[in-house]
Amino acid sequence: MALFYCLSHRFSGFSHKVQTLLHKVLESVLTTDIHDALFRLTREKAIDAYRNIALARPDEHGQMFLSLLLTEGRWAWKEKLQRLESLQAEDLAHFHRELMARNSVTLGVFGNVSEESALGLGELVERLMRRNGRFEPLCPSLQVRGRGRGMDGRPIGGRHQSVTARERGAL
């Protein structure tokens, strides 16, 4: 059984600060340290929240159970509580390492932004991923090319690494 996890970040309304914000967020995600005291506090809050579910109204339990039945691969709150009670900070740190080792990045930039700024964001992401030893380019068959269309109907997009400023001028 394959497990898929996704971290999705969307930034909007930060036009001139988006590069700084993206840098800080990605750096934080890539270099997360699990502090034991903070982990224990957060885990206890989550355990309390799951225990409080037992005190919910019967109709809420019915809705939760229906949702559980209709969603494949979903855990019941009692199963989550049981797993959470045995979870340790080392388990979370191991999961983070595994998640970061198996990630891929898709970056979409749209709106009132120049092509050079968009390419610069892609290069920033690639540089941060490489610096943290977590970057391996996709094989050619997995690369998505030409998703969008410009105002003139021509395809736009593709891998930012493959197009340099000099090549864009030649097109």
At 80-119, the pLDDT tens digits run: 999 999 999 999 888 888 877 777 777 888 777 788 888 8
Q: Are residues 51 and 88 in the same domain?
A: yes
Cβ neighbours of residue 65 under 8 Å, at least 6 residues apart?
Answer: 76
CB 47 within 8 Å of CB 81: yes
CB 132 within 8 Å of CB 31: yes
Q: Which three-class secondary structure state does DSSP give residue 155?
A: strand
Domain range for 142 is 107-171
At residue 154, the pLDDT reads 66
* Residue 46: inside a domain: yes
* Residue 9: inside a domain: no
Confidence of residue 79 (pLDDT cuts 50, 70, 90): very high
Q: Is pLDDT at 164 greater than 80 in this prediction?
A: no
Q: Are residues 130 and 167 in the same domain?
A: yes
* Residue 24: inside a domain: no
Report the distance separating Cα 115 and Cα 121, nearest Å.
10
At residue 62, the pLDDT reads 92
Domain-terminating residue out of 102, 118, 139: 102
* Residue 21: inside a domain: no
**What predicted TM-score, i.e. pTM, was given to this entire model?**
0.60
At residue 163, the pLDDT reads 39
Q: Are residues 48 and 92 in the same domain?
A: yes
Domain-terminating residue out of 87, 102, 117: 102
- Encoding tokens for residue 121? 């964001």
* Residue 15: inside a domain: no
Helix axes 89-101, 36-53, angle to 10 degrees: 100
Domain-terminating residue out of 62, 78, 102: 102
* Residue 170: inside a domain: yes
Report the distance separating Cα 135 and Cα 71, nearest Å.
33
Report the distance separating Cα 91 and Cα 84, nearest Å.
11
